[in-house]
Structure 1
């Protein structure tokens, strides 16, 4: 048994969405509690509501109001609110967004305080979380501000494939105006650092994908690649193994994944 398990926080997402159902079903697998101590930021009654719907699962939890009460052998529910609320699965409303933000803020505070070692976020809906004091388009920009980070990058991982994004939640018609050498270099530096530190890749190889079909075809179908190329050149000057820009509409095919550890699209793959 792992006696040095990390405590991992899980925000519940929209209480009317799929988040808590996924959490209940995922943490019904006892093997997860063998590698970490889960703390779900929600409310006992809400979790119980979804537990009763998932009749084919074996989900038990330990309710807590402070971290001194954590049970390392069980899933823990940190109660972020006490009031009774109406749960309407599948319905997009203000209640779902309000309590998604309460859960997220509570989880991030625990992360800032060191009460949890990492954070998993269940889905939120970008429209119903909006308020005067929460104007973010998703988790990533909110985490950036919460931790006062100079820059952040979203990376999606599956086995040996890792895809990072240059831009997030930007209308397609505006993406080109957001691209510049400084932005691309900043993202590349973050990716390089993560691949070395988090994934143990000593010499990561990074492929940069183009913005336009066929990576612009030397200017025939767009010239935004002329913004990307100087960033790649500068990254190489910094001894980074960066290549491209490659045609995004042809690059992600069988075979390329064997040669490059990460694909870095500037637009063609978006969240």
Structure 2
């Protein structure tokens, strides 16, 4: 059985002074992308018209004011606002931040109301989006509040998958966040996502250590011995194939990561530095654990090249493809789980 449904992909436009608009245009200038999905950009026809002119894009937009009017085979633009927006590439602007939030809120509502199947978010500036009404460190935290489930930052690039125990937490506060409950919760999310979203039947998960050399038996901290090891032992005894803790400094360099379906890092840079080094700008940020699918490119607003036509759309394209693949995998998982007899018809 093959799922051939045309997937509707919602796109929040992100910071308009950054490279988000450019990579969105470059992605959908390739008309083959419309064979994979039906895109809906949450912005305005005027804003996208300005970007089209600036970047000499050949895209023809279908402007809509009602999500019931989405057209398959077209690049749809849903008008979240009507007034003109002053775009100054490369500048951090609080007003531009409010439009990034408008786009995200509008797209998230469409996702919750089932007008779109998945959400791909263009980069935002975490500073200029802050206000009394919107007070979140980034996309992940906002979506965790809006959508059901426990969120996890899951970085994906082909067979390399890195999840985080903690994400946007200051380094000085990391140790106090690491508890047996958190470790069990995050590993359960990764394990569940590997099965449902990546179609891996018996996932093998590696966990990195908290301290350098996993503490060297207490010489460089005792958290790995008192918290991490006993917790991983309990999880493994329950049937989950989890291994570690591994010393983070050598784990990626000796290719040990290739032996696992996912790696869980303790904190942001421990996981993202090796991930971004190995993925060469083709990585995807997937918010695992939620009842809806959201991906984004693994880069930021890149103000230094914004508006110059130099942005590489590779990571955004991968975010698009990954969202589509996860949607199909999750749909198949739910279908076959509800009726195991249908597995005999599934194409391999």
User: Fold match, TM over 0.5?
Assistant: yes
Give the secondary structure class of the aligned counterpart of 1:207.
strand
Q: Are 1:25 and 1:54, in contact at CA under 8 Å, matched by a contact in 2?
A: no
Aligned residue in 2 for 1:64: 64
Instruction: Name the CA distance, whole Å, in 1 between partners of 2:84 and 2:4.
Output: 36
Asked whether 1:166 is paired with 2:165, we answer: yes
Aligned residue in 2 for 1:255: 255
The Cα of 1:213 is off from its aligned counterpart by: 1.6
The Cα of 1:231 is off from its aligned counterpart by: 2.0
Q: Are 2:160 and 2:258, in contact at CA under 8 Å, matched by a contact in 1?
A: no
Q: Give 4+ residue runs of structure 1 displaced > 3 Å after superposition.
A: none
Give the secondary structure class of the aligned counterpart of 1:154.
strand
Instruction: Name the CA distance, whole Å, in 2 between partners of 1:7 and 1:193.
Output: 24
* Runs of at least 5 residues in structure 1 that lack an aligned partner in the other structure: none
* TM-score, with length taken from structure 2: 0.74
Aligned residue in 2 for 1:199: 198
Aligned residue in 1 for 2:138: 138
CA RMSD of the aligned region, Å? 1.5
The Cα of 1:270 is off from its aligned counterpart by: 4.5
Aligned residue in 2 for 1:20: 21
Q: Are 1:168 and 1:270, in contact at CA under 8 Å, matched by a contact in 2?
A: no
The Cα of 1:183 is off from its aligned counterpart by: 0.5
* Runs of at least 5 residues in structure 2 that lack an aligned partner in the other structure: 274-348
Instruction: Name the CA distance, whole Å, in 2 between partners of 1:33 and 1:108.
Output: 22
The Cα of 1:67 is off from its aligned counterpart by: 1.7
Instruction: Name the CA distance, whole Å, in 1 between partners of 2:71 and 2:44.
Output: 17
Q: Are 1:111 and 1:117, in contact at CA under 8 Å, matched by a contact in 2?
A: yes
Q: Are 1:25 and 1:59, in contact at CA under 8 Å, matched by a contact in 2?
A: no
Instruction: State the aligned residue count.
Output: 268
Aligned residue in 2 for 1:125: 125
CA deviation map 1:127-166 (0-9, x unaligned) = 11111111100111111111243x2111011111100011
The Cα of 1:58 is off from its aligned counterpart by: 2.8
The Cα of 1:7 is off from its aligned counterpart by: 0.4
- Decide which structure has greater helix share: 2
* TM-score, with length taken from structure 1: 0.95
